[in-house]
Every structure is written in structure tokens, then in C-alpha cells.
């Protein structure tokens, strides 16, 4: 089950000029090598999102099971350990988006989420934001407190990102909007609602999943930046320009659509931005990671395969933060629980996974 140690020891800390991906084009051919870090021994488990602490530990949110928040060291041989329980979260059964504002201070979205076919989605009125602070509490467990229980106007919070140390941006997949949340006061407001953020037919019955992942990238020079986002049911990646006060500077803009893999449309889920601003995106039923260059909108499948459980229904990605794994992209999956992998003529599911992708060796 565990074979990541040797793989991680070979990863370079600095992306070399021969294999790095700049923000204009994709210079390599072929896929990036992967290594399984952990896989639950049975299906029915779902990792929803992933964040990385400065000490290298991974933080994993989940839908239904395992509930709460889990931690996993990519360098050891131990399985994930639950460090925040459903009881810590007011008995909400699922955690979704997670982001760090200051070192070891994380915020995470929680809700009651159903995976049943007829009722799939967030239960109305259960969206909440929690703060988890590590340090000095024993057994590596964070201190957890409720920041805000949202009203019914907030429909289905999903991706979460930091605008600054006190302002968060949260994707609402059903409403097709981004909410801004001031964490000191708990006040929130609708930052933007746009057709590119909405599901294809928002008024029709059935499950809605428009905007999913969201990541804010501040400008290197000057104030403001870009909020990048995915829209799962429109299969697209886009952006919204924001000024230094988080005011929207114009309508949402399309950057690229996902690549269909053997006739399967890849729904874009959560993603990580590399040092060049490019997006490494989990593709749900695509069972892959797709790379999008944010300047030109070029798209490439860089790992996984639609007919393989190597990366079984990936949900989110995050880069390592230590000297040992800065070039490693960690991919969380749900093991094909919602979208089984069609493999060798039959449907197949596996346990939720964490997969390491070595971006320094792509195409080698």
C-alpha cells in the first residue's frame, strides 16, 4: 500500500528549466510519473479536498466518510488519522473546501451532504465555516471553532480560497456565485454571480454543480489579482479580475474547456496553481489530472487515464511545501464512488486515494 518514500526522495526541490511548465505553453510530451501514497482498503470513502501544512503534513476533507478532517504524512507509513470529528463540527457529516490564511490557521467549509442518487447535494441551511488552528493543543489536533453558520441564501459551498488574511472567497456550486466572507466579523456578501459560474440549466430539477474550485492568485506587482475557477457541469476553467479591495473589475472570462477522454467529458473539480500560475486540475470521472496554462489556455492530460483506477475520480490537488516535495503535486480522490471507473468491461471502485505526481519529471 505504501511505496511513496523512495519516490518522494527522488523529487527535486527546484523545478529545472528543462522540464518546468511556464505560463505560456506546455513544453513536455507524455505524462508525469505518479506514486500511490495511500488508498483506503475499501470503497465508500471520499476525500474531497486537500491542503498542505508547512511541516509537510496533508490535511484531507471528506464527504460522509471518513467524516471531519484527517491528516496524513506523505513521508511515513501510517494511514490517515482523523483529527477533527463530526462532533467537533456540530455533527455535520461532510467537509469540503479548505484554505490556510496564516501559518497553521486553516478555514474549512462543512455541511450535511448527501451522496444518495435522489438527494445528492448539500442539505439546505447546513453550510458552515470553521476555523482550525494548530499548535500547542496536544496530539497534533487543532483547536476548532465555528466562524459562521450561513443562512438559506447560501446554497452549496464548495471551493474555498484566501483573498487576504481576513477575507475568504467561497464558491457556491448551486447558486453559481462566489461569496466573500470576513472572518473576524463573520459577515458575508455575494461577491459575484455570473453565467460562467452557473450550472448549464440552473432552474431545472436535479443535481447542480456549476463553480467548483476557486483559487485567488495575487498580482506580483500592485494590488488585486485573479480569482481562477472551474465550472464542473460546463467543463470549463475561467477567471475573474479583482482589485485590491476584492471588487470585481469585470465579467467572468473563459480560459479553456477540459479535454474529453475517450468520449468521457472531464468535469473539472478543484485545482492547484504552480509557481507560473498554471492550473493542475482534478477531473472527477476523467480519472486524470489536466494542466491548463492560464495565459494561452492550452490543456493537456498529464497523469491518469479514464479507464484506470491509478487516479480514481480525483477531486482536488495541492503542491508539497517542504524541501523534499516542492515539485510534488498531491492528488486526492473519491475512488470512483460517484463515477465508477470503466475498466476491463466492468465498473470498478477503489478506496479514496492520495496520489503523488512528480511535476519535475513530466515527460521523462
pTM: 0.92
**Mean per-residue pLDDT, 318-333:** 97
- State the pLDDT at residue 16: 36
What is the sign, positive or negative, of the torsion defined by CA atoms of 174, 97, 13, 331?
negative
Split into its structural domains, the chain has a count of 1
Mean pLDDT of the chain: 92
- Asked whether residue 17 carries a pLDDT value surpassing 50, the answer given is no
**And the C-alpha cell for 310?**
491509478
* CATH number of the domain enclosing 270: 2.120.10.30
Q: Mean pLDDT throughout 316-334?
A: 97
Q: How high is the pLDDT of residue 3?
A: 47
- Higher-confidence position of 256 and 6: 256
* CA pair distance 69, 43, nearest whole angstrom: 18
Alpha-helical segments (H) within the chain: 4-9
Q: What is the pLDDT of residue 10?
A: 47
Its domain, for residue 281, covers: 4-361
pLDDT number for residue 118: 82
Residue 152 to residue 165: CA distance in whole angstroms: 26
What value does the mean pLDDT take over residues 326-355? 96
Cβ partners under 8 Å of residue 206, min gap 6:
none
Partners of 202 in beta bridges: none
- pLDDT of res. 19: 43
Residue 195 predicted with pLDDT over 80: yes
- The 3-state DSSP class for residue 31 equals coil
CA-CA distances (angstroms) from residue 181 to 193, 194, 293, 299, 342? 15, 18, 29, 32, 40
Q: Is 284 helix (H, G, I), strand (E, B) or coil?
A: helix
Tens of pLDDT, residues 159-172: 999 999 999 999 99
Using pLDDT thresholds of 50, 70 and 90, give the confidence band for residue 14. Answer: very low
Contact call for residues 280 and 302 (beta carbons, < 8 A): yes
Give the integer Cα–Cα distance in Å for 288 and 47: 15
Amino acid at each position: 500500500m505504501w511505496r511513496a518514500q523512495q519516490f518522494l526522495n527522488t523529487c527535486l526541490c527546484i523545478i529545472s528549466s528543462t522540464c518546468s511548465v511556464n505560463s505560456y505553453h506546455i513544453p513536455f510530451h507524455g505524462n508525469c510519473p505518479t506514486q500511490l501514497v495511500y488508498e483506503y482498503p475499501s470503497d465508500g470513502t471520499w476525500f474531497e479536498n486537500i491542503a498542505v501544512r508547512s511541516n509537510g503534513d496533508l490535511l484531507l476533507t471528506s464527504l460522509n466518510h471518513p467524516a471531519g478532517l484527517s491528516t496524513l504524512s506523505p513521508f511515513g507509513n501510517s494511514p490517515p488519522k482523523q483529527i477533527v470529528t463530526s462532533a467537533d463540527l456540530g455533527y455535520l457529516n461532510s467537509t469540503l473546501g479548505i484554505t490556510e490564511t496564516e501559518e497553521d490557521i486553516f478555514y474549512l467549509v462543512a455541511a450535511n451532504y448527501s451522496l444518495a442518487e435522489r438527494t445528492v447535494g448539500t442539505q439546505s441551511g447546513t453550510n458552515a465555516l470553521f476555523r482550525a488552528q494548530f499548535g500547542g493543543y496536544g496530539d497534533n489536533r487543532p483547536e476548532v471553532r465555528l466562524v459562521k453558520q450561513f443562512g438559506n441564501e447560501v446554497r452549496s459551498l464548495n471551493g474555498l480560497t484566501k483573498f487576504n488574511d481576513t477575507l475568504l472567497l467561497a464558491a457556491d456550486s448551486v447558486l453559481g456565485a462566489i461569496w466573500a466572507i470576513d472572518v473576524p466579523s463573520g459577515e458575508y456578501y455575494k461577491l459575484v454571480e455570473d453565467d460562467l459560474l452557473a450550472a448549464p440549466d440552473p432552474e431545472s430539477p436535479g443535481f447542480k454543480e456549476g463553480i467548483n474550485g476557486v483559487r485567488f492568485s495575487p498580482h506580483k506587482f500592485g494590488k488585486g489579482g485573479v480569482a481562477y475557477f472551474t465550472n464542473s457541469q460546463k467543463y470549463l476553467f475561467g477567471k475573474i479580475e479583482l482589485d485590491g479591495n476584492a471588487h470585481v473589475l469585470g465579467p467572468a472570462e473563459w480560459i479553456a474547456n477540459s479535454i474529453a477522454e475517450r468520449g468521457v467529458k472531464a468535469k473539472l473539480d478543484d485545482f492547484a496553481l504552480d509557481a507560473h500560475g498554471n492550473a493542475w486540475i482534478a477531473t472527477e470521472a476523467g480519472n486524470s489530472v489536466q494542466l491548463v496554462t492560464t495565459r494561452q489556455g492550452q490543456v493537456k492530460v498529464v497523469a491518469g487515464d479514464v479507464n484506470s483506477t491509478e487516479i480514481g475520480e480525483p477531486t482536488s490537488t495541492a503542491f508539497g511545501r517542504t524541501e523534499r516535495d516542492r515539485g510534488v503535486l498531491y492528488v486526492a480522490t473519491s475512488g470512483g464512488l460517484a463515477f465508477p471507473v470503466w475498466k476491463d468491461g466492468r465498473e470498478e471502485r477503489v478506496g479514496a486515494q492520495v496520489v503523488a505526481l512528480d511535476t519535475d519529471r513530466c515527460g521523462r
